[in-house]
Structure 1
Amino acid sequence: MMKIDVVSLFSGGGGLDLGFKKEGYNLVWAIDNNPNAIATYKKNVHENAICGDINEINLDDIPKADVIIGGPPCQSFSLAGNRNVEDARGQLVWRYLEIIEHVQPKAFVFENVTGLLSAKNSNKEHIIELLKQAFRDRGYTINAKVLNAVEYGVPQKRKRVIIVGLRNGETFDFPLPTHGEADGLLPYVSVEEALGDLPAAVVDENARVKYLTEAKNGYQKLMRKNAGEDVSEHFISKLSELDKYIIKHVKPGGNYMDIPADVKSERIRRLQRDGGHTTCYGRLRPECPSYTINTYFNRPNVGCNIHYSEQRLITVREALRLQSFPDDFEIVSTSKQGRNLIVGNAVPPILAGVIAKKLREYLEGEND
């Protein structure tokens, strides 16, 4: 297998990197400004990672590599935000370009949220088109596509913009979906298929919980492949009495419309009256994939985070499973929200692996 060196920018906890590592890539250097993310990365991916401000890094300190991967922080382009592309987070996109120009990799993989597609600068120009042209100006043939992780075996509907650039003049063809409802495709991996073998969640945040059953399907076997006899991060979030009341009334696949109208929450009554935000206060359906796992899955009011059969929210381990992180992946964090940020911001490793496998075909073909 050809040795392919990779530099990772805005690496987070390493979801994208894990996919490339699984496909045999050699991860030589990574950077992120989140200390918890870097500590997690070092524990699970490799030690060649630094915590720092990417704008202050001397470009000459970044090692040469065949591939650069990474997604600049996406809040500026998030559909949930104000899409202010002039702020510092938006400008990090252009730092990514500077590094591409300096390192001159054979290929790059750029990941971001779908809000990037509609983001404009102060001159009303579409950022995505400026970005594509900037990559072309630096000698890359590029292809961009919105990929949905659920179509590649991840038990989660999660759409992301992926741009792949090649310096050899070829155009990267994205891998075709493997899962879906069309003839010839595998069925989507459901929430219950993803989580059904996990033991009962516990109260102790630091406890390791032993598996009580064997893996029941291919996805569970894949998640447990290197995990041993127990699993971490499988604890119950603390709930207020209001949260407990809400969870008690929401049925699988339901949301705030299931909650009695006398609930002591003006926000819920407003949602019931005006509609919108249909995943808020949602409970997962066992027979379907989950909705997008965000950074607030420890709350019932931000997304569909209620367990499909138990009267609680999903655990960190369950969120990791829905993101396709293996059970031997352990988070290092000084805070609960720091832990959730690592999970919710990550690229699903299975999706990353699919892209990495396809990209290897181009790089090995070029080498031949």
Structure 2
Amino acid sequence: MDRGSSAVTPLRVASLFCGIGGLDLGFEREGFEVVWANDLLHSAADAYAKNFGRPVQRGDLMELPLGLIPEVDVIIGGPPCQSFSLVGRRDPLDPRGSLVFRFRDIVDSRRPRAFVMENVPGMAASRVGGRRLTDLLLEDFDAMGYRVALLQLLATDYLVPQRRRRIFLVGSFDRAIGPPDAGTFALRILGRRPTAEDVSARAAIGDLGECGQRGARVAYADDPQSAFARLMRPKGTDDVTLHECPRMSIRDREFVRHIPPGGNYRDIPDRVATPRIMKFKETGGRTTTYGRLHPDQPAYTINTYFRRPNVGCHFHYERDRLITAREAMRFQALPDAFEVHASRQDERNALIGNAVPSLLAQAVAWSLDLALRGGSQASVEPVAA
């Protein structure tokens, strides 16, 4: 199927909780037309408008009239799910939990041909009134007439250099939607079968080189050596933004010098370790605590605190520093032309860390598009990512 053909009518999409647009970017790459997007945050809406060239309907979806959402073929989004614990019950006073059900209600009201709800794996274990949240949602969508699949996907399977797991509830009136075939997707994007090197940290950020001062454009260190870097870099550009040297404490600078690629807090000598690190050594901490990337392996999940070494694997594999915002965006498969700015670094980093990796989104969009148009994943046609 020629996605660039004028004979193919684009499927119209409404994007809820759009953030900076990682999910939307993946759908646009597969020929969908995002005609309406919403987010609560000013910073997210500003970044989205800058990167996509269209405005965002900013506001609380719990308060926006449903009539503002246009009739579309597909509704997509990743509603916040922080109010559902892995062991507990829904907190009726936490408005974030209601957003999951608001997504459901919007689908029920607008009745698109299909929908995609993205979320963290913990959503599948969350309980409401003693029942799994996902079971409740599956029942509700089934009662609306949708054929719904719960997909549990690993980002590295879809060319994202990050071991990020996410779940997708994908529903359609037309037919059941299966998971995107990883090998076939890679053939479409790369023109060949993928290798471990394609999703390594070196492939992701090796061409970015030394970081620079805040606000400066920084020259690339090298021509793109990996297929992934070629996907991320705009043609005809020699430098990049947001590759700014992160601030680090004297203590963290000391720690990183002792941690080898692929190492973590256990490699910090006792003589310089803090009492908290010593406690981790005694009782066991997370593998990613004070973690350092390995050049030949994917990153762990890029979270919203990637400027803090104690809550993730955020040390560069070669340079004695934390990763930059641009490097974090590379691990999220957000192209170098993407810009994200906010009044505070933590706010900017949260927008980056909460994004859906665009290639993972594209894989889901591809499988959905095929299902809606009656195609087959066995039919491979390379596309420009």
TM-score by length of 1: 0.93
Tell me which residue corresponds to 1:125: 131
Tell me which residue corresponds to 1:175: 180
Residue 78 of structure 1 contacts residue 114 of structure 1 at CA under 8 Å; is this kept in 2? no
Residue 220 of structure 2 contacts residue 238 of structure 2 at CA under 8 Å; is this kept in 1? yes
Amino acid paired to 1:360: D
The match for 1:62 among 28, 48, 69 is 69
Amino acid paired to 2:83: S
Change (3 A) 1:212 1:310: closer
The match for 1:277 among 253, 266, 286 is 286
Tell me which residue corresponds to 2:41: 34
Measure how far apart 1:212 and its partner are: 3.5
> 2:197 matched to 1:191?
no
Amino acid paired to 2:215: N
The match for 2:363 among 354, 360, 364 is 354
- Write the deviation string for residues 38-90 of structure 1: whole angstroms up to 9, x where unpaired: 111111124131221110000011111100000101323476xx765323211
Change (3 A) 1:83 1:332: farther
Tell me which residue corresponds to 1:333: 342
SS of 2:223's partner is coil
Amino acid paired to 1:266: P
Distance 1:143 1:157 in 2: 22
Query: How high is the sequence identity, in percent, across the aligned residues?
Result: 43
Amino acid paired to 2:220: Y
> 2:164 matched to 1:158?
yes
- Write the deviation string for residues 65-120 of structure 1: whole angstroms up to 9, x where unpaired: 100000101323476xx765323211110000111011110000110000011111
Residue 77 of structure 1 contacts residue 113 of structure 1 at CA under 8 Å; is this kept in 2? no
Change (3 A) 1:265 1:315: same
Amino acid paired to 1:99: I
**Structure 2 matches for 1:98-247, cutoff 5 A?**
98-121=105-128, 123-168=129-174, 170-178=175-183, 186-188=194-196, 189-202=199-212, 204-226=213-235, 228-247=237-256
Distance 1:338 1:51 in 2: 17
How many residue pairs end up in the alignment? 358
> 2:261 matched to 1:286?
no
Structure 1 gaps, min length 5: none
Distance 1:113 1:199 in 2: 32
- Taking only aligned residues, the RMSD between alpha carbons, in angstroms, comes to 1.8
Structure 2 gaps, min length 5: 1-7, 187-191, 376-385
Distance 1:98 1:48 in 2: 24
